[in-house]
Amino acid sequence: LRGSRLALARLLTQVENDTLEGRAALIELFPHTGKAHLVGVTGAPGTGKSSLVNQLARFYRNPPQGVEKVKIGIVAVDPSSPFSGGAILGDRVRMRDLSGDPGVYIRSMASRGALGGIAASTAGVVQALDAAGYELILIETVGAGQDEVEIARLAHTTIVVEAPGLGDDIQAIKAGILEIADILVVNKADRPGVENTERGLKNMLQLARPTSKIAGVGKPGHEAMTASGEGNLLTQERIWSPPIIRTVATEGEGVEELADEIQRHREYMKASGAWIKREQMRLQAEMDTLLNATVVARWHAAMDTQIYQETLRRVLERQLSPREAVLKLVNGDSR
Amino acid sequence: LRGSRLALARLLTQVENDTLEGRAALIELFPHTGKAHLVGVTGAPGTGKSSLVNQLARFYRNPPQGVEKVKIGIVAVDPSSPFSGGAILGDRVRMRDLSGDPGVYIRSMASRGALGGIAASTAGVVQALDAAGYELILIETVGAGQDEVEIARLAHTTIVVEAPGLGDDIQAIKAGILEIADILVVNKADRPGVENTERGLKNMLQLARPTSKIAGVGKPGHEAMTASGEGNLLTQERIWSPPIIRTVATEGEGVEELADEIQRHREYMKASGAWIKREQMRLQAEMDTLLNATVVARWHAAMDTQIYQETLRRVLERQLSPREAVLKLVNGDSR
């Protein structure tokens, strides 16, 4: 709470390892949370998410006039890390860019260790950064696994990053994550095919959000805003239509426009009541995740290991199917 | 069991929806399972996994002399589908290729609906195909999320697909899944940069599998085999070093070599006892997953919803942290 980076680093390690100290600290810190703007950044591999996140951080640390300079937390959830490697490498690359700035804190998370799951672990890390006074927290995930999508979905603002020329598999991923996008970014917009990518996004957006089409208010928010100068406030409050922004993150192009949209989305969320709703969704999801993990842990602790081993043996010999075995174990019937 | 595709299709839907009928059927079918060779195919988006899987299926259905013609099941776990879209599209593309052959059964799975998780759902679908007499089952996943890696890991043989020129994010993913690879494929090998990709894989393989390096037997199995004509049987039985195969799936190039390696890995697994070990790992993982889901479901069914709602309200007002709330709920302490 006093701003010690060393204390924060130690806390985050405790939280990631789900130690008793980490748990106790999160309980004490909880009343200090709820201030940060949580921004999820997700997208397929190869879209340049990390560069974009770095550029956003740089922008907020050296803002143009009229934009508030805020403390930035970055939480990178690294998909490579059910096993090893990637997270540390990513850290080093980022460090070169943003290190030395006390207003930036970067944490790469391995999916690996995460006892109780990566989503729970990320929630704890974000809470700690929030309590430590980081005002805008960028949560970077790869938009492929269900875990990653869950994490991104629980941010206040979710940015989905796309890039031209990434092939068919990527198209498929897009369809899934478009439903959770608040802002769409076509990064690497200096590459050929950028118009196609943007057109594809617009089409998929209509498919993914049929409600806005049916309701007849599916006009992209950005266009509405620029067309009328200030937009239709009523429509704006009722429904958010994800704008599509072009960026070239490596050159910093489009980053200011993206920051504008993040700010605009924040204002929309606060005004519409959606901000509080997402807060509640996130807290309930976190509570339910912890609840399930705790219930399972208690059940296992109370279970007779000899009965478990004997039941497992019968499954391995194909005398019992896994489900029959489970019913026997849960009903306390060892025969 | 009599080979009706219609019955199988209905069963798979029941299994995917985790209905009572589906559960009962899997219990009855369980003694008929354990015959199929389960081959996981995983890799980052854009590597061409689907084409490779299709070509493998085609190869096994029209084998050259000396290779057994086997019935092929394909289970495609689609990452796009926490929400919608991709799975059905993928199905149509595949259908064009392999439809009409009664010896091929293709099932695309949405990550979405999967009550009890996609891993449990996939296990059930694979068991049903196994019981229905499909002798080689290709399980295709995107190697990014933890779920997908878990699924691939539990196959008898895991193929990790790579391709030249996919950017840095992909590199990071590679590090994670290399540890589970039994066979490495560099697909799209007609593209520039194939030597770099292959060299990169070799280097990462050494990092990811330091044990084989330390033991001094880290020579790629493939080289050992071709150099000596039949390989060193003793080394072959003790340790498997993943070979690297180049393919151009769209042209069918390298597919026969890949099928050879799959066969060689199968023989190695059977001879070394690793086959039985993976069977046991898979069944135990399946049992544990079901067990956890069942324990949680029972606990929730028994819980007083009024107390739950009241506790949640206090969390949303930040009077209680999620963890404090869970402890109160689990200990039956509603104050």
Contact in structure between B16 and B109 (CB atoms under 8 Å): yes
Among A156-170, B153-167, B220-234, B255-269, name the one with the lowest average pLDDT: B220-234
Residue B235 dihedral angles phi and psi, to the nearest 5°:
-60, -45
**Average pLDDT of every residue of chain B:** 80
Q: Which residue has the higher pLDDT, A128 or A118?
A: A128
Task: Give CA A334 to chain center in angstroms.
Answer: 43
Q: For the residues A75-103, what does the mean pLDDT come to?
A: 58
Alpha helices by DSSP H, listed for B157-273, are: 168-178, 194-208, 210-215, 221-228, 233-238, 255-272
Q: Is A65 helix (H, G, I), strand (E, B) or coil?
A: coil
Secondary element (H or E) of residue A44? none
Closest among A180, A71, A57, A74 to A125, alpha carbons compared:
A74
Distance from CA of B172 to the nearest CA of A (A): 5
Q: Is A265 helix (H, G, I), strand (E, B) or coil?
A: helix
Instruction: pLDDT band for B262, please (50, 70, 90 cuts).
Output: very high
Say which residues have a Cβ less than 8 Å from residue B135's Cβ, sequence separation at least 6: B35, B36, B37, B70, B71, B72
What percent of chain A has pLDDT above 90?
44
Contact in structure between A255 and A55 (CB atoms under 8 Å): yes
Among A114-128, B61-75, B238-252, name the one with the lowest average pLDDT: A114-128
A175 → closest Cβ in B80, B147, B330: B80
Closest among B227, B269, B231, B200 to B38, alpha carbons compared:
B269
Distance from CA of A157 to the nearest CA of B (A): 18
Contact in structure between B307 and B334 (CB atoms under 8 Å): yes
Interchain CB contact of B325 with A (< 8 Å): yes
CA distances from B40 to A159, B43, B159, B184, B276 (A): 32, 10, 6, 12, 17
| pLDDT (tens digit per residue) in B301-326 | 988 999 999 999 999 998 999 999 99
- What the block records as the tokens of A116 is 């109780």
Residue with tokens 């050494």: B206
Highest mean pLDDT of the ranges A82-91, A193-202, B96-105, B301-310: B301-310
Residue of B nearest to A298 (CA): B330
- What the block records as the tokens of A206 is 């209509």
Per CB-CB distance under 8 Å, the chain A contacts of B322 are 30, 283, 286-287, 290
Task: Give CA A205 to chain center in angstroms.
Answer: 20
B82 → closest Cβ in A47, A146, A208: A146
Distance from CA of B109 to the nearest CA of A (A): 13
A170 → closest Cβ in B34, B45, B296: B45
Burial readout B299-314 (b: 16 or more C-beta within 10 A, e: otherwise): beeeeeeeebeebbee
Contact in structure between A142 and A53 (CB atoms under 8 Å): no
Is B84 close to A175, i.e. CB distance below 8 A? yes
- What the block records as the tokens of B70 is 């086997």
Is A167 close to B290, i.e. CB distance below 8 A? no
Secondary element (H or E) of residue B125? helix B118-131
Chain A stretch 253-312, residues whose beta carbon is closer than 8 A to a beta carbon of chain B: 279-280, 283-284, 286-287, 290-292, 294-296, 298-299, 311-312
For residue A335, count other CB atoms closer than 10 A to its CB.
3
Is B286 close to A111, i.e. CB distance below 8 A? no
Instruction: pLDDT band for B12, please (50, 70, 90 cuts).
Output: very high
Per CB-CB distance under 8 Å, the chain B contacts of A168 are 46
Rounded Cα gap, residues A220 and A213, in angstroms:
11
**Phi-psi region at B48: left, alpha or beta (left = phi > 0; alpha = psi -120 to 50):** left
Closest among B181, B133, B177, B124 to B3, alpha carbons compared:
B133
Interchain CB contact of A108 with B (< 8 Å): no
| pLDDT (tens digit per residue) in A54-80 | 999 999 999 999 889 999 999 988 654
Chains A–B, number of C-beta pairs less than 8 Å apart: 228
For residue A254, count other CB atoms closer than 10 A to its CB.
19
Say which residues have a Cβ less than 8 Å from residue A191's Cβ, sequence separation at least 6: A163, A164, A165
Contact in structure between A268 and A240 (CB atoms under 8 Å): yes
Chain A stretch 55-94, residues whose beta carbon is closer than 8 A to a beta carbon of chain B: 78-86, 89-90
pLDDT of residue B231: 42
Is A85 close to B177, i.e. CB distance below 8 A? no
